[in-house]
Structure 1
Amino acid sequence: MTPSDDSEDSNNSSEPIIPEKCQCKSTVTGKIYNFCYKLPENPKILGKRFSCDFVEEWEKIESSSKFLNLEKQKITDSVFVTAFSNQFVRNGMRLISSIRKSGYRQKIILYNLGIAEDNLRMLKENSCNLEIRNFNFSNFPPSMNQLKSYRWKPIVIAQVLRDYGSLWYLDSSVIFEKSNVSHVYDLVNCYGKVRKRPPMLTSYSRDIRENREPHENGWDQKIWEKNLQECRKSQYLLHGYSGHGILSVTHPEVYKYFPTNPGELKKEKAKMYDAGFVFAVNTRQTMMNIVKWYFLCALEEDCMAPKSAVLGCQFVDDDRFTTYAGCHRYDQSIINLVLANQFWYDRRYYVSQIVDFFHIDRAGTPGDFQDKMKCI
């Protein structure tokens, strides 16, 4: 079974047999869950079982998720989600104002990762349709408090995706710039229209395509039209290229949990994209093949943030794809690896390839955003 065959629209109620070594039993319901990741191209290859200590936390997500069927349901508007601490309040204000300036009136959910009371009050008083949720660190292991390992991000995304069906997750460094993103929604809404896809290209042919096609710049409508015809994209889409591959910046300890195909992962089509800007739809494919493993890795002590992991990279001879550069990108490494494994190690299928509606600014922008966060 290929990743595209294991679609969100499958209503097959039969449950696969879970190997005993992979079983985790809920103390609440008695249900047994499979906590071993399997390599999509070879399901016999299993990763190390994730800890059963937090099986009930995953059960809260899976049991309450109402999966969307994109053959019958269409995405038009999605909730906006962000999370930040007091250090990033100004950038967070800028993000909120950019969403409102672009004309979006739908709810923005802000997860409070440690915002001072006066700033919380200011955000509440000056924003419209803003829901503030306090991230409940006490429900999770102490390592969750280390904000720079970004373990909190998969939790935030899973919780909101469960509650709302589709979302834009945005780090505070994102600036939204376009009032109409239907061209992005079309990349998943095509599942309700396509009846016959062109044949899937071989890995070799896709290697050639990667070298010939221009890198995303704005909105290339010819590539977009091809993507609509093929309609094989993930319903968990990344957008901004990080400048290197996945293998070069992923700590080797991660592969204990997420086996992969190193030969494919080191190719240039297995590019890494920013984890801080995401469009996702709660389909069965998204939640069970992608978000579940992102979530469980965040709760595993040595998965998302192995003890020897560091951010600083040493790219030998500027090799950004084939050789490990001694660094790790935490949640970004994990979500890119899971997506690449699931979608043929080819960024074309797990990124939008559209970059005309946002930009990233981590440095901050001068100016006052306090009076610009209302709906217009």
Structure 2
Amino acid sequence: MRTKHLILILIGVIIATIVFIAFGPAGEPNDSFKHIVVQTHQQLKEFQENLRVGLERKKLDLEPKYFKLLGFASPLNTKENDDAASHQPVQQHQETDTPVTARRAAQELQQLHRRDGTRQMAAIESNLLQELDLQEQQLQQQQQQKSQRKRITTPYNGTKANFTIVTYVQQERQVASAILLAQNIAAKLPSEYLLIYDLGVSEEQLRTLTAYCNSSRCTVITYDLSEFPSSVNDQRTHAYRPIVIKDALMRAKSVLFAENYMRIRGGYRELHELQNRVMVSGVLGWNTPTAVSSRTHPKMFDYFESNAENFIFLRMVDLDTVFFADTLFVTEKIMLPWLKCALTLECIDPIGAQSNGCKFNKKPLYRYSGCHGYDASAFNIVLGLTWHLDDSKYSLPCTAKENMFYKETLEQATKILENRRRNTSDTSDHPFTED
């Protein structure tokens, strides 16, 4: 839009110049022309300044408290963190004491009105006291549940495993898929660790998941996302995925992030080949024929000081299964900018973005399809900029023989798990083969 305005201004300047030269006084053409040139230069400078300010406003940043939560060595002054930490217990205390304070006030008011003989008011206030008592009990139950679930809020600083497979469950209906993934890994890669991040399932579903994940090599981590912006919980954006991956990289030297609906058809030989590759590049995923520009809202590129035209020939890497190595390069060049975008609502979810309504039949095929990839789009922009738009450095084609994974739909997973519970499972439940 700004370019269009600039072109219209230049056209107007040219027309005005011709008019002044043709019809102006004989001794004044040069002065008029100089005045027009000066005005044009001023307008160009204002345009450049506005453009620079616009880019600065879209510059990505990360608040100090998030640096700490995500385990980064924050280069910023930690005084803000100390102040925030000192105020946090006070806020929690105030929130906890609110029902108690209200109850005491109601009691005093009730006694006052009883002295005045207003029995009707006393009855109303008695009901109010009962409601406040009920709210206080519910609050205590919620606090007990939180303490029982032991939600993780601090960065992990214990001993690291060499390699870990990582997945998550955010909704109750995903538990069946996660259970089958745990069983699949136990059968195919019995020596490997599995971390399942609980991002908000119910207590009942958590117990069910923990019952199946009951070996020394399978762990359920109840991770607290409430410390982050509320937009992180949005399932459309999947902004929680880079947070889960970053936490997992503090627990292992390398990780395989896999969606809970993914399954492994290979074994250790295929796994070791892929592990060797990821130790060279730091990140390894599988690309699709879809261009990054067709699955990314144009406004997201502004936050990375780039544009969609640079990504029209770059293949999109999906986040179904991706290997990550815990190196300084990956932390600073991949995870940090990716998380900055994920925690900035205007970057991860630009105005006008949507997750459905894709139209991949547009010509040319690299045009924006109207369907945004959210965290996957940000991930691919970071990868493209880091490796100078060469996807062969960090990905393999999804049809490559090295791809040892396949998908299992939620309906299939639910059916298989139910059949196993009834001891009626057979090989026909799986539509995929090991060939």
TM-score between the two structures when normalised by the length of structure 1 = 0.66
Deviation of 1:276 after TM superposition, in Å, equals 2.6
Q: Deviations over 1:105-143 (max 9, x none)?
A: 332111112222222112212222322222212101111
- Aligned partner of 1:346 in structure 2 is 390
Q: 1:130 to 1:318 in 2, by over 3 A?
A: farther
1:337 to 378, 381, 402: 381
- Aligned partner of 2:67 in structure 1 is 58
More helix by share: 2
Counterpart contact for 2:175–2:209, Cα < 8 Å: no
Q: Write the distance in 1 (CA, Å) between the matches of 2:201 and 2:352.
A: 29
- Aligned residues between the structures: 272
Q: Write the distance in 2 (CA, Å) between the matches of 1:294 and 1:158.
A: 10
Tell me if 1:185 matches 2:256. no
- Aligned partner of 2:240 in structure 1 is 152
Tell me if 1:289 matches 2:333. yes
- Aligned partner of 2:407 in structure 1 is 360
Q: Write the distance in 2 (CA, Å) between the matches of 1:356 and 1:304.
A: 28
Percent of aligned pairs with the same residue?
A: 23
Deviation of 1:147 after TM superposition, in Å, equals 2.1
Q: 1:174 to 1:114 in 2, by over 3 A?
A: same
Tell me if 1:258 matches 2:304. yes
Counterpart contact for 1:76–1:182, Cα < 8 Å: no
Aligned-partner residue type, residue 176 of structure 2? R
Q: Write the distance in 2 (CA, Å) between the matches of 1:318 and 1:92.
A: 39
Q: Write the distance in 1 (CA, Å) between the matches of 2:311 and 2:182.
A: 36
Q: Which moved more, 1:127-136 or 1:286-295?
A: 127-136
- Aligned partner of 2:317 in structure 1 is 273
Which 4+ runs in 1 deviate beyond 4 A? 369-372
Aligned-partner residue type, residue 271 of structure 1? R
Greater C-alpha Rg: 2
Aligned-partner residue type, residue 377 of structure 2? S
Q: Write the distance in 2 (CA, Å) between the matches of 1:350 and 1:293.
A: 17
Q: Deviations over 1:25-48 (max 9, x none)?
A: xxxxxxxxxxxxxxxxxxxx9893
- Aligned partner of 1:326 in structure 2 is 370
Deviation of 1:350 after TM superposition, in Å, equals 1.5
Aligned-partner residue type, residue 290 of structure 1? I
Q: Write the distance in 1 (CA, Å) between the matches of 2:66 and 2:240.
A: 13
Q: Write the distance in 1 (CA, Å) between the matches of 2:308 and 2:208.
A: 49
1:49 to 52, 59, 62: 59
- Aligned partner of 2:97 in structure 1 is none
Q: How does 1:18-167 map to 2 (within 5 A)?
A: 48-52=58-62, 54-60=63-69, 61-63=71-73, 77-84=162-169, 85-127=171-213, 128=215, 129-167=217-255
Tell me if 1:236 matches 2:326. no
Q: Write the distance in 1 (CA, Å) between the matches of 2:322 and 2:309.
A: 27
Q: 1:78 to 1:46 in 2, by over 3 A?
A: farther
Q: Secondary structure at the match of 1:78?
A: strand
- Aligned partner of 1:315 in structure 2 is 360
Q: Write the distance in 1 (CA, Å) between the matches of 2:347 and 2:59.
A: 11
Q: Write the distance in 1 (CA, Å) between the matches of 2:198 and 2:165.
A: 15
Structure 2: state its 5+ residue gaps: 1-54, 74-154, 426-435
Q: How does 1:4-23 map to 2 (within 5 A)?
A: none
TM-score between the two structures when normalised by the length of structure 2 = 0.57
